[in-house]
């Protein structure tokens, strides 16, 4: 297993240059800390993308399909009650609950994917125990 490396740079240009050299040599940079925004840093870091939208779509459509199937099973197979001559599979009546449950499931899945992608909740990170790390948000 590789050991993490912690480095300190005097200027933002030196940080971006070192990051690009490390990536060119095949190393993978995890994170960079600065007390102010550095324009070229985001492009040089190339953070991984979290697929929040596909996760939300899958959870929403899956939950909506499950709720529609549950209503269909209950009305057609489990308790077939012919009320007023309507068909047992009356799909317009079944659309409201799957829509609401699908939106709820998509919102919960999106929030969970957001937390997972951000690495939250993280109460402690080993980097915070490094000596002089607190200066990264002050003047380094």
Q: What is the pLDDT of residues 63-82, one digit of tens each?
A: 999 999 999 999 999 999 88
Please report the pLDDT score of residue 46 as a whole number: 76
Mean pLDDT for the stretch of residues 82-106:
91
The C-alpha atoms of residue 117 and residue 114 are separated, in whole angstroms, by 5
Q: Enumerate the H helices of the chain as residue ranges.
A: 12-24, 41-45, 52-73, 96-118
Confidence bin at 4 (pLDDT 50/70/90): low
The 10s digit of each residue's pLDDT in 31-62 is: 788 888 888 888 888 777 889 999 999 999 99
Structure tokens at 68: 């529609």
Please report the pLDDT score of residue 114 as a whole number: 94
Q: What is the pTM of this model?
A: 0.72
Structure tokens at 58: 């899958």
Query: Is residue 76 within 8 Å of residue 60, measured between CB atoms?
Result: no
- Is a pLDDT exceeding 60 seen at residue 117? yes
Query: Is residue 22 within 8 Å of residue 29, measured between CB atoms?
Result: yes
Mean pLDDT for the stretch of residues 12-28:
86
Cis peptide before 121 (omega within 30 of 0): yes
Per cent of the chain over pLDDT 70 is 93
- Is a pLDDT exceeding 70 seen at residue 140? no
Confidence bin at 115 (pLDDT 50/70/90): very high
């Amino acid at each position: 297993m590789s050991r993490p490396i912690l480095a300190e740079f005097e200027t933002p240009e030196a940080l971006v240059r070192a990051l690009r050299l490390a990536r060119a040599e095949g190393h993978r940079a995890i994170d960079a800390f600065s007390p102010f925004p550095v324009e070229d840093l985001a492009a040089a870091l190339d953070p991984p993308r979290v697929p929040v939208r596909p996760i939300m779509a899958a959870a929403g459509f899956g939950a909506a399909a499950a709720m529609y199937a549950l209503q269909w099973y209950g009305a057609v197979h489990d308790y077939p009650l012919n009320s007023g001559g309507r068909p047992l599979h009356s799909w317009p009546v079944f659309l409201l609950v799957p829509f609401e449950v699908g939106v709820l499931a998509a919102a919960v899945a999106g929030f969970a994917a957001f937390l997972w992608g951000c690495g939250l909740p993280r109460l402690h990170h080993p980097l915070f125990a490094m000596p002089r790390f607190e200066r990264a948000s002050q003047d380094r």
